A and B are shown apart, each in its own frame.
Chain A
Amino acid sequence: MTLSPAALLRLLSRFAFALTLVGASMTAAGQGTILIGAPLPLTGGLAPEGLKLQRGYDLWAEEVNKTGGISVGNAKMPVKMVYYDYQSNTPRAVQLAEKLITDDKVNFLFSPFGSGATKAASAVSEKYGVPTIAPTASSVEVYDQHYKNLFGTYTPNSTLTEPIAELVRKNAPQVARVAILARNDLYPLALAEEFERSAKARGLNVVYFEKYAIGTLDHASAITQMRAAKPDWIIATGYINDMVLVRKQMSDQNLRAPVVTMINGPAYQEFIDATGALANNVTTASWWHPAARYTSKDVFKSSENFTNLFRTTYKVEPDFTSAGAAVAGAVLQMAIETAGTLDRDKVRSALRDGKFATFFGTIAFGPEGYANSYTPPVLQIQGGKPVVLVPADIKMADFRLGV
């Protein structure tokens, strides 16, 4: 009795996949190590941001392990970060999040980069009940699923747009016409919509509002149209690669305005390096800046200490993305230490109820899962360096007009 070749082939293929499963089950956690999973965009359009996140996580893990690890009850357990590269491709981020949970058996998860990917992957965390800290998700749309396992360290987008709009109204009352160009992606679009709201609330006239597709390389059309609309305030949203392109192509077409705001980009050194003199007087906002002066109960002890440590280790200034990653670790650590156990339910409660004094500011997660407990700084590039304009207690310079 022989098997027909088709059936043989079919059985062979099942055998093949049974083998792959055996391979899968062989990666188990070492005893006494806390595994934290973090899918990162290490290649692709978001690679610069992915690298920043990795640096933040690594620095935190290093600091924690220097002290022996996280205190869980009476023991100290070292921390191990588990990374996978999702190549800036959101579905892959979701797949890898699931792989980290089911295959690598991580204890906790950090979200992938950005609001869009965070929201996508949060469904996985919720399914499996794994507390997940989102270090880079500020749009309230990310949290509208009422998930219990997602905790976002960024304050919502309106906390970025309101201070800037206020600043413009006070210092440049002649500004009347606003042009907005947004990347068609969750966070940049949500942020742009918030800007529209903040501008309109102050009686400004939004004369242009368009979206550009993810991966757009040529913004000439949009810039031409903006030029025709004669705006006083230009707002562009996207990620660092987009912002560099837009700023350069604006100069290609001689597009100028009294106020130009770009988020996310100018707060990063890479933007300043790539655009040179074009960066001057561009305004931006972020959730943290090295000028911050918080003292904290986390492993870093203070903002200054974190900044110095980062500078010594990586030879560059830390930006808000790296800091955000490090504080995600710090917050998780404090929650585990409060809970005294690695049990996911107990840690989840600790995260939900806690008020964490970190080097990033006080972080307390609201009922929807995101923090609204500190003031994000507004920055402007002056003389090739970012200076803080708001909040007043760390203000470094006055607002300048004209880009």
Chain B
Amino acid sequence: MKRAWLIGPAAAVVLLIALPFIGNNYILRIATSMLMYVALASSWNYIGGFAGYPSFATAAFFGLGAYAGGILQFKGVPMVAAWLIAGVIVTAFASAVGRAILRLRGHYFAIASLVIADVLREVINGMTGVTGGGMGLNVPVMKIDVTTQARLFYAAMLAVAVLAVVTSALLDRSRIGFGLRCIEQNEDVALRLGVHTARYKTIAFALSSIYPALAGAVYASWVSYIDPAEAFDVLFSIKPIIMALLGGAGTVAGPIVGAFIFQAMEELVWRNFLSVHLGLLGLIVVLLILFLPQGLLRHRLLRPRMRPLLVKAP
């Protein structure tokens, strides 16, 4: 019975694999979106949860990935290659920027990370010749039928999400992960104890950019049209944070659980309460912060049974 806790996740995995064959296009669309946020939330967790640096840069990475992937495809690069190249470009960008802003702490770091997306958005808005500027970018639509497309993008997003989660698990158990947790507890002490804080932070920050970039590139191909305001929407930074907080920041499973639950709530709200949808989301966030700041997985009631999923108890 020691492995009993595996049944739930196993069932979930089976469902994930079977979905393209049992679900219709609409279900696949929702699922693809959910997986995208799993990737985003898990990625944020590396820098925000493990290291405790409140990064709002997810939207910057996502948007840049979307545009890089979109523009490459527009120029004729095959889709999957475009995605991968976009991932590389954004990671390089994140490493460079990270070196500059990771010296900041607290509020200043948060703002700096937030502003990156704004700057990128304005720059892209201005480069009308290359990006279409305010007119948006049309990514070539694939000449295959809708159902196959839906399955294809689902599979792609699933792959990105899985990679993000696996990276999270590996990071969690690794020396870097341990170092990040030390940084989160007390950075100055960690430094004095010999932890390579600057290097680890930069690695975490760069890692936190890969999967959002890939997700952004896939997203651009999926929706076939992006414009700067949409691709760099601050909600792409905020929602993953909320999801990670909801599930439990700093845990591997937290962002996954948070992403699914938050998205299910959002879908229900969006469908039925379109006009108050944002307000209700805000309310959920407020309630979350006030009453569940540690997240679901760390809540007192659930804690005793959570041990297997929490490698490092807080």
Instruction: Write the residues of chain A forming the contact surface with B, with a CB cutoff of 8 angstroms.
Output: 1-14, 16-17, 19-21, 23-24, 84-85, 89-91, 94, 98, 102-103, 116, 119-120, 123, 126-128, 141, 145, 183-186, 189-190, 211, 213-214
Contacts and interface: CB of A to CB of B under 8 A. Distances in A.
Contacts of A2: 4, 305
B149 A127 contact: yes
Interface of B: 1, 4-5, 7-9, 11-12, 15, 25-27, 29-30, 122, 125, 128, 133-136, 138, 141, 146, 149, 223-225, 227, 229-230, 253, 256-257, 260-261, 263-265, 267-268, 271-272, 274-275, 296-297, 302, 305-306, 308-309
Given A91-B230, A184-B133, A7 B296 contact: no
A20 to B, nearest CB: 5
A95 to B, nearest CB: 9
A14 B9 contact: no
Nearest to A184: B134
B128 A189 contact: yes
The residue in B7, B138, B274 that gathers the most chain A C-beta atoms within 10 A of its C-beta is B138
Contacts of A141: 135
A186 B146 CA distance: 27
Given A4-B8, A123-B224, A9 B138 contact: no
B30 A17 contact: yes
Contacts of B260: 9-10, 13-14
B228 to A, nearest CB: 9
A10 B253 CA distance: 10
B128 to A, nearest CB: 7
Contacts, number: 147
Nearest to A188: B134
Contacts of B302: 5
A126 B141 contact: yes
A90 B133 contact: no
- Pick the 10 closest A-B CB pairs, nearest first: A7-B8, A4-B5, A184-B134, A186-B135, A123-B224, A16-B264, A13-B260, A120-B225, A91-B230, A5-B302
A279 B229 CA distance: 32
B227 A90 contact: yes
B305 A4 contact: yes
Contact of A20 (B8, B264, B308): B264
B227 A1 contact: no
A215 to B, nearest CB: 9
Contacts of A90: 136, 227, 229-230
Contacts of A98: 29
B14 to A, nearest CB: 11
Nearest to B252: A6
A264 B262 CA distance: 41
A7 B308 CA distance: 12
Nearest to B296: A9
Contacts of A123: 138, 141, 223-225
Contacts of A1: 1, 4, 7
Contacts of B135: 116, 119, 141, 184-186, 189-190
B134 A189 contact: yes
Nearest to A10: B12
Contacts of B29: 98
Contacts of A21: 26-27, 30
Nearest to B3: A1
Contacts of B263: 13, 17
Contact of A214 (B1, B146, B149, B229): B229
B288 to A, nearest CB: 14
10 contacts: A1-B4, A2-B4, A2-B305, A4-B5, A10-B257, A13-B261, A13-B264, A90-B136, A186-B134, A214-B229
